[in-house]
Amino acid sequence: MKSMPVIFIGHGSPMNMVLDNEYTRSLTALRDRLPLPKAIVIISAHWQTSGTHITDSPNPRQIYDFYGFPQELYDIRYEPLGAPPVARKAHKLMGGEAEGVLLDDSWGDDHAGWAVLKFLYPNADIPITVISVDMEAPASRHATLAQRLAPLREEEVLILASGNIVHNLFDADLMNENAPPDPRGLRFDALAKSALETGDLDSLVHYERWGGDARYSVPTRDHYLPLLWAAALKKEHDSVTFPCEVMQNRSVSMRSVVFGL
């Protein structure tokens, strides 16, 4: 049986959930190519913790972690079952409490997960578990933990990391999805693309070496770190494809990456 692919999705603004644009069309096109997994593990930019936490609830709550948007976004329901056995397996693979990895039913499925999965698996019939981003850990730690999850790919588990490679909301033009991108973000996004294509995980982990473009593109690490989980799970002969490569709102990269499809 072929390994499940690994996916990184740049999810951007919650408004994408109700828009017809190049990004949302890329997700519906990807949907037609994806296999049907037994479970999905989500690495969410929106669950930021000290230590690494994993949801183990059999019925994770849907979290609307955005404010001031049109009511139609809050009317969307996407409520898959949880996957406690997969959560426990991931917990064990990553070393458990001895490694600062905790099972935790206090969270649920935030929009980094469900706003993407509503396009990819719209029936909400595949169990999920969510992994947080440890905001205190170095980037290398994220890559190391991710690599320990590799056996899940052989057990029909799809791993979905959700964030954004370039995510500078301080400079974003939130009223104009098609605002001309800042050159610094474009350069950083291109460097990341090249590293993803060549399997250069070290450059992605040590992205600060890319200087001012990195400081502009990653003013906070929360949305960048999920990329490392996906990149670290790439196998030597995995294909690398980019279903979406657009920028939105001047300073948000919507680049998506799929390994092994």
- Give tens-digit pLDDT for 71-83: 999 999 999 999 9
Residue 233: other Cβ atoms inside 10 A: 27
| 131 domain-assigned | yes
Helix (H, G, I), strand (E, B) or coil at 150: helix
Q: 126-147 as b/e, with b when 16 or more CB fall inside 10 Å?
A: bbbbbbbbbeebebebbbbbbe
Q: Which residues contact 188 (CB under 8 A, 6 or more apart)?
A: 165, 166, 207, 210, 213, 214, 216, 217, 218, 253
Q: CB-based burial of residue 242 (10 Å sphere; 0-12 exposed, 13-18 middle, 19+ buried)? A: middle
| Phi, then psi, of 258 in degrees rounded to 5 | -125, 125
Q: Which amino acid is at 146?
A: A
**pLDDT band at 1; cut points 50, 70, 90:** low
The span from the CA of 80 to the CA of 57, in Å, is 11
- Give tens-digit pLDDT for 177-200: 999 999 999 999 999 999 999 999
Indicate which CATH number applies to the domain containing 166: 3.40.830.10
The pLDDT of residue 2: 84
Say if CB 215 and CB 148 are below 8 A apart.
no
The span from the CA of 259 to the CA of 9, in Å, is 12
Q: Which amino acid is at 156?
A: E
Q: Note down the domain range covering 92.
A: 6-259
- Give tens-digit pLDDT for 201-218: 999 999 999 999 999 999
- Give tens-digit pLDDT for 21-68: 999 999 999 999 999 999 999 999 999 999 999 999 999 999 999 999
The pLDDT of residue 121: 98
Average pLDDT over residues 162-166: 98
| β-sheet bridge partners, residue 189 | none
Distances (CA, A) of 18 to 15, 40, 249: 6, 23, 16
Helix (H, G, I), strand (E, B) or coil at 127: coil
Report which secondary-structure segment, H or E, holds 119.
helix 111-120
- CA 200-226-93 angle, 5° bins: 90
| 98 domain-assigned | yes
Distances (CA, A) of 11 to 145, 188, 206, 212: 23, 17, 23, 24
Query: If you average pLDDT over every residue of the chain, what do you get?
Result: 97
| 1 domain-assigned | no
How many structural domains does the chain have?
Answer: 1
The pLDDT of residue 70: 96
- Give tens-digit pLDDT for 79-127: 999 999 999 999 999 999 999 999 999 999 999 999 999 999 999 999 9
**DSSP calls for 53-76:** EE---SSPPB-----S--HHHHT-
Question: Over 70: is that where the pLDDT of 159 sits?
Answer: yes
DSSP H helices, 148-205, are: 150-153, 183-198, 201-205
Question: Over 70: is that where the pLDDT of 238 sits?
Answer: yes
The pLDDT of residue 106: 93
Residue 249 in tokens: 């709102």
